[in-house]
Amino acid sequence: MREQLALLPEYLSAHVRLTLLALAAGVLLAVPAGVLVSRVRALEAPVLGLAGVIQTIPALALLAVMVPLLSALGLPGIGVLPAFLGLVLYSLLPILRNTVTGLHAVAPAVIEAARGVGMTSRQRLFQVELPLALPVVVAGIRTATVWTVGMATLSTPVGATSLGNYIFSGLQTRNSAAVLTGCAAAAGLALTLDGLVRTAATGIERRQRRPVAAAALGLLALGAWAWAAAPRGEGHAGRTVRVGGKTFTEQYILAEILARSVRATGREATVVAGLGSTVAFDALVRDEIDVYVDYTGTLWSTVMGRRDPAGPRARVLEEVRLWLLERHAVVLAAALGFENAYCFAVRREMAYSLSLRSLIDLARHAGTLRLASDYEFFSREEWRAVESTYGLAFRERRTMDPSLLYQAIAARQVEVITAYSSDGRIASLDLVTLEDEKNAIPPYDAVVLVGPRIAREDPALVTALRRLKGTIDETRMRALNRLVDEEGRSAGAAAEEFLGSSPAAFMRR
Amino acid sequence: MIEVAGLSRRYGGAVAVADVSFRVGAGEMLALVGDSGSGKTTTLKMINRLLEPDAGKVVIDGRDAASLDPHALRRSIGYVFQGIGLFPHRTVAENVAVPLRLAGWSRDRTCVRVAELLALVELDPALAARFPAELSGGQQQRTGVARALAASPRVMLLDEPFGALDPLTRDRLQRTFGELRRRLGLTAVFVTHDVAEAVVLADRIGVMRSGRLLQLGTPAELARSPADDDVARLLDTPRRQARLVAERLEARS
């Protein structure tokens, strides 16, 4: 818990910065737009309709779609920008709609009175219409505030630090303390900001200076703290190596190992963890992160888009290495020595009772069995390959968060799951993995990838990273994963366990 | 002085006001009476350009209203609105001060003037800090009159100013306003459907029907030689009612 709380200033301040910026932009855009729409009736339907459509996009998808969109525009596709834009878009609707509603609700008699006493259109707006619409507008801002705080937790997968870092890493590494810390902090922040906005608004309505000043001071103090707590080092951002990681336990550990290995060479390193699977690769190509670990099978099917059977491990590794280098100037520095392949796992007693050893056996019983997999698998090429190669047709297919797969099979809610071959829980839950005799699933060697900028400017670092080759075998990786998943250690602690007391010595070996 | 010539206005296909002309001399009060939909309010609103006429013109103190900036024009004319027309988010004092603020008065001068106006319309100064919703109907309408008078306009327009008040309050307010108008020498046009009110307050009465000005004259002239049976009945109504009231009251005693 103490370990979690130590991260709070960093996560919370980043969350506050993101939320305040997005809300400020949302208000500055939506209120004038609402005024415009309420005056030019022809705009009302299209503008509110568009904002409504944006709102129907699931929050996570809206943020995720920002990544390729920004990249296509030549802007930084990961980090604060996509999160900021997504949040702004999301905050527009409640503010816009309430501004329009509030302005429409001003009694026609009052508007006529304003005209009758000789107010100009602008005077009428600022002296009569907006003040009267204020309570409704503020209600919209409060809705947007709570939404934005909540949704900002989803900016972790696009590479922006937020309280979501607690939640995503906590869910993946089964650290409920982290999840709870993240949720509690987000809820607390939402209540605080909502309270400040409400206080300011009531103060304005009742014309009391004190609450308005108090709320303004509160917001100012919160903002000042958040920006003061922002990590410095813009100056040597060029020298800091950004280590990426995806959203599962092993990736959190490997990112920590890579970061410590980089630091052992005397360079600075920061970890950008919890990136979406293809977000990570795109970010590497664009030099938004510098180093991360990916898997040959993933690169083969998802990135290279190969549809043909992959073939043996060494050949795939070589093909992937050449393709990355030629196509993207990305250097495959080292194969770590283990595979993290998709594999089909069943409980041991069921494997016995149904005599299941391979996927061929599984195909005979699939019609009576339920299969659960992660978000990606069913849309990946290897599922199509497995399905057609073995003629697999399950009674039911379910998609769930990877961290929940093991709970689902342990609780007998499903009979078969797609496990990751390096996962410590295969052993601890006494699961049996079924053999892929026809090689339908490509090999998944874990490989350290280095982005084009480092490859070009810092060959010494590439050389240093090559020393990681073959340092982690399957047993080792499972043990490290178990440390985090089963024993509740942090990813950093697992990395230290692996590198020993002196990462520098490890890197010099 | 107000001069209205050939004023016309349509809403969609329907004629609201057709070819209305009249003159209101300096210090005179003209009442426009007629049923709802007769065009009296539309006529009134075209005088300060809350509505623009389709045809005809309005001349105020020798100047064509169409040639003036509409905001400046409205600021120079006091307007008392049908119903309430006060700004609900402003206090009594602030409502009264609106025209002064628009005219760019200093805070100190405004303060003095507001106190003066509240006294003029016989409003308790203690009400100055109240919001409209905290006032009685009569107090609200006094506030409305005070606001219309704030910038010392020479012309006043009143749209059924006393319509929503209870009879006692209405009677008091009518008298207050009548005295004020004479004292300040205001030129005024006011719209009402209450013939008795028109007879009591106005120097001359214009009877409107279906957008046209049917007849214009002093109450006595209209009563003496009505243009048609309708006008005769209209002018006779208050008298008939008064007789009926008197009879019933006496029968009871």
Q: DSSP string covering A288-300, please?
A: SS-EEEEEHHHII
CB contact under 8 A, B85 and A110: yes
Could you tell me the end-to-end alpha-carbon distance of chain B, in angstroms, rounded to an integer? 50
Buried b (16+ CB within 10 A) or exposed e, A435-473: ebeeebbbbbbbbbbbbbebbeebeebbebbeebeebbe
List CB contacts (< 8 A) between B72 and chain A. 118
Q: Residue A394 carries which side chain, given as an amino acid letter? A: F
What's the mean per-residue pLDDT of chain A? 88
CATH architecture of A342-433: 3-Layer(aba) Sandwich (3.40)
Tell me whether A118 touches chain B (CB under 8 Å): yes
- Tokens 């010099």 map to which residue? A508
Interface of B with A in 174-203 (CB under 8 A): none
* Cβ separation B102–A119 shorter than 8 A: yes
Using an 8 Å Cβ cutoff, are B197 and B39 in contact? no
pLDDT given at position B155: 94
Q: How far is B75 from chain A (nearest CA, A)?
A: 5
pLDDT per residue over A184-234, tens digit each?
A: 999 999 999 999 999 998 898 888 889 999 999 999 999 999 988 877 644
Q: Do A118 and B99 touch (CB under 8 A)?
A: yes
User: What residues 79-98 of chain B have any CB closer than 8 A to a CB of chain A?
Assistant: 79, 81-89, 98
Domain boundaries, given as residue ranges, for chain A: 2-228, 241-341+443-508, 342-433
- Out of B74, B82, B87, closest to residue A118 by CB: B74
**A240 burial via Cβ count (<10 Å: 0-12, 13-18, 19+):** middle
What pLDDT is stored for residue A237 in this prediction?
Answer: 46
A115: chain B residues, CB-CB within 8 Å: 50, 74
Complex ipTM value:
0.89
Please write the tens of the pLDDT for every residue from B74-101. Answer: 999 999 988 768 999 999 999 999 999 9
Contact list in A for residue B82 (CB cut-off 8 A) is: 109
Mean of pLDDT values over A330-352: 92
Q: Which residue type, as a one-letter code, is found at position B13?
A: G
Please say if the pLDDT value at position B253 is more than 70: no
Residue A424 confidence class, pLDDT cut points 50, 70, 90: confident
Amino acid present at A378: F
In terms of Cα–Cα distance, which of B98, B49, B44 is closest to B69?
B49
Closest CB to A117: pick one of B82, B88, B98.
B98
pLDDT of B57 higher than 50:
yes
DSSP assignments along A318-382, one per residue = HHHHHHHHHHH--EEEEEEEEE--EEEEEEHHHHHHTT--BHHHHHHHGGG-EEEE-TTGGGSHH
Nearest to A110 among B74, B88, B99 (CB): B88
| Under 8 Å between Cβ of A250 and A340 | yes
pLDDT for A438: 85
Q: What is the mean pLDDT of residues A30-42?
A: 91
Question: In this structure, is the dihedral angle defined by the CA atoms of residues B86, B92, B98 and B100, taken in order, positive or negative?
Answer: positive
Q: Looking at the predicted structure, is the pLDDT value of residue A325 above 50?
A: yes
B117-123 long-range Cβ contacts below 8 angstroms, 24+ apart: B117/B146, B117/B147, B117/B149, B117/B150, B118/B92, B118/B93, B118/B146, B120/B146, B120/B149, B120/B180, B121/B145, B121/B146, B121/B149, B121/B176, B121/B180, B122/B176, B123/B92
Which residues of A are less than 8 Å from B48 in CB distance? 116
Domains A2-228 and A241-341+443-508 share a fold: no
Pairing type for strands B212-217 and B204-209 reads antiparallel
- Residue labelled with tokens 């869910």: A171
Give the whole-number percent of chain A exceeding pLDDT 70.
97
Query: A132 contacts in B (CB within 8 Å)?
Result: 88-89
Cα distance from A132 to chain B (closest Cα, Å)? 7
**Do A113 and B72 make contact, defined as CB atoms within 8 angstroms?**
no
User: What is the token pair recorded at A494?
Assistant: 């697992």
The CATH code of the domain at A241-341+443-508 is: 3.40.190.10
Cα–Cα distance for residue pair A263/A267, rounded to 1 Å: 5
Q: For A130-178, what is each residue's pLDDT tens digit?
A: 999 999 999 999 999 999 999 999 988 887 889 998 888 887 777 788 8
Residue of A183, A167, A189, A170 lying closest to A19 (CA atoms): A189
| CB-based burial label for A101 (10 Å; 0-12, 13-18, 19+) | middle
Give the pLDDT of residue B218.
93
Distance between A190 CA and the closest CA of chain B, angstroms? 30
A118·B72 Cβ contact <8 A? yes
Q: Is the distance from CB of A320 to CB of A445 less than 8 angstroms? A: no
Residue B68, chain A, CB below 8 Å: the answer is no
Q: What does each C-alpha distance from A443 to A101, A320, B83 come to in angstroms?
A: 58, 11, 82
pLDDT at A124: 93
A with B: how many residue pairs have Cβ under 8 Å apart? 48
Residue of A nearest to B147 (CA): A117
What is the distance in angstroms between the CA of the first residue and the CA of the last residue of chain A? 35
| Mean confidence (pLDDT) of chain B | 90
Least confident of A117-131, A395-409, B103-117: A395-409
State whether residue A235 sits within 8 Å of chain B by CB. no
Alpha carbon of A113: minimum distance to chain B alpha carbons (Å): 5
CATH class of A2-228: mainly alpha
Every domain of chain B and the residues it spans? 1-76+154-216, 89-153
DSSP state letters, B169-204: HHHHHHHHHHHHHHHHT-EEEEEES-HHHHHHH-SE
In chain A, residues with a C-beta closer than 8 Å to the C-beta of B89 are 128, 131-132
Per the CB < 8 A criterion, the answer to whether A426 and A345 are in contact is: yes
Residues whose CB falls within 8 Å of the CB of residue A419, separated by 6 or more in sequence, listed in order:
A342, A343, A344, A345, A405, A406, A425, A426, A431, A433
B10 touches A: beta carbon within 8 Å:
no
Contacts for B107-115: CB closer than 8 Å, 24+ residues apart: B113/B150, B114/B150
Question: Where residue B162 falls among pLDDT bands split at 50, 70, 90?
Answer: confident
B75–A contact, CB cutoff 8 A: yes
Cβ contacts (< 8 Å) between B73 and chain A: which residues? 118
Planar angle of CA A163, A169, A174, nearest 5 degrees: 125
Put simply, the answer to whether B71 touches A113 (Cβ < 8 Å) is: no
Mean pLDDT, to the nearest integer, of A279-298?
90
pLDDT of residue A278: 75
Q: What angle do CA B196, B177, B108 make, to 5 degrees?
A: 160
Q: Is A112 on the interface with B (CB under 8 A)?
A: yes
Q: Please, which pLDDT band fits residue A236 given cuts at 50, 70 and 90?
A: very low
| Assigned CATH topology for domain B1-76+154-216 | Rossmann fold (3.40.50)
- The vertex-A376 CA angle with A370 and A378, nearest 5°, equals 45
Report yes or no: A439 at the B interface, CB cutoff 8 Å.
no
Q: Is A115 on the interface with B (CB under 8 A)?
A: yes
At A428, the amino acid letter reads S
Distance CA A64, CA A78 (A): 9
Cβ contact (<8 Å) for A113 and B85? yes
Q: B129 — contact with chain A (CB < 8 Å)?
A: no
Reduced to 3 states (helix: H, G, I; strand: E, B; else coil), residue A97 is helix
CB-based contact B48 A131, cutoff 8 Å: no
Q: A60-73 pLDDT, tens per residue? A: 888 888 888 887 88
What integer is the mean pLDDT of B31-55? 92
Strand order in the sheet with B55-60: B14-24, B2-11, B55-60, B63-64
* Chain A touched by B130 (CB under 8 Å): no
Q: Which of A236-250, A405-419, A484-498 has the least mean pLDDT?
A: A236-250
Pick from A109, A123, A132: CB nearest B85: A109
- Which of B73, B77, B79 has the most A C-beta neighbours within 10 Å, making it the best mutation to test the interface with A? B79
Which residues of chain A have a CB within 8 Å of the CB of B86?
113
B47 within 8 A of B59, measured Cβ to Cβ: no
C-alpha angle with apex A342: A341 to A348, nearest 5 degrees? 110
Q: Which residues contact B189 (CB under 8 A, 6 or more apart)?
A: B2, B24, B29, B30, B31, B32, B44, B47, B156, B157, B158
Tell which wins on pLDDT, A282 or B164. A282
Find chain B residues with C-beta within 8 A of A112's C-beta. Answer: 50, 81, 85
Disruptive mutation site among B42, B81, B189 for chain A (greatest number of A CBs within 10 Å): B81
B160: left (phi over 0), alpha (psi -120 to 50) or beta: left
How much is the CA Rg of chain B, to the nearest whole Å? 19
- Nearest-CB residue to B102 (from A113, A118, A132): A118
Mean pLDDT, rounded, for A366-385: 86
* Distance (Å) of CA A496 to CA A3, A223, A489, A504, B230: 15, 35, 11, 12, 103
Residue A114: burial class (beta carbons within 10 Å; 0-12, 13-18, 19+)? buried
Mean pLDDT to the nearest integer, A358-384: 88
Cα(A418)–Cα(B91) distance, rounded to whole angstroms?
70
Instruction: Compare all CA atoms of chain A with the CA of B83 and give the residue at the minimum distance.
Output: A109
Per-residue confidence (pLDDT) for residue A234, from 0 to 100: 45
Tell me how far apart the alpha carbons of residues A264 and A339 are, in angstroms, rounded to a whole number.
26
> Could B71 and A120 be called an inter-chain contact, meaning their C-beta atoms sit closer than 8 Å?
yes
* Chain A residue numbers touching B84 (CB-CB < 8 A): 109
- B contact test, residue of A110, A117, A123 with most B CBs within 10 A: A117
